[in-house]
Amino acid sequence: MSMSGSVTVHMRANPEAIWDLVADVTRIGEFSPETFEAEWLEGATGPAVGAKFRGHVKRNGVGPVYWAPCEVTECEPGRVFAFAVGTADRPMNSWRYEISPTDDGADVTESFALPDNPMTRVYWLLLGRARGRTNERGMRQTLERIRAVVEG
């Protein structure tokens, strides 16, 4: 059972410019339909492996509203930005942006993956299809909004 999903959108823009937007968590509120703000924590001022931040989430765009702690797990400028919700050792969910250069810009893939444990398997069995569709709609919306900025 795959407890993950992804969406890819082509952008006619420089991969570094795209990466600058996805890796600046303080701008997520401009793009995400669920996370309306984020802030770096513990002295972090930008993306780096191990940097911590928290995102202010309005689940499904309606609630509940909560702060989610996050930790950057991959950080390769112009190519990859990924983070764990929770901590890298014990993620509740992992999110990843991969930027693949093309002749006229880049293909940008946003993906999520839940950890494989009994609790998430039960969650996915009961609610996974609906949540997976919601995540895929949200990822597409996020990437389309990023594309509008970098192509604008």
- Is the per-residue pLDDT at 49 higher than 80? yes
According to CATH, the superfamily of the domain at 4-151 is: START domain (3.30.530.20)
pTM strictly above 0.85: yes
Provide the residue ranges of all domains of the chain, joining segments of one domain with +. 4-151
Confidence band, pLDDT 50/70/90 cuts, at residue 1: low
Taking only the tens place, the pLDDT of each residue in 71-108 is: 999 999 999 999 999 988 889 999 999 999 999 999 99
Residue with tokens 């006619």: 12
Helices (H), 7-51: 15-23
Cα separation, 16 vs 36, whole angstroms: 23
Q: Where are the alpha helices (DSSP H) in the chain?
A: 15-23, 118-151
Q: What is the mean pLDDT of residues 51-73?
A: 91
Neighbours of 65 (CB within 10 A): 10
From the list 15, 9, 4, 6, the residue with the least C-alpha distance to 145 is 9
d(C-alpha 62, C-alpha 85), whole Å: 20
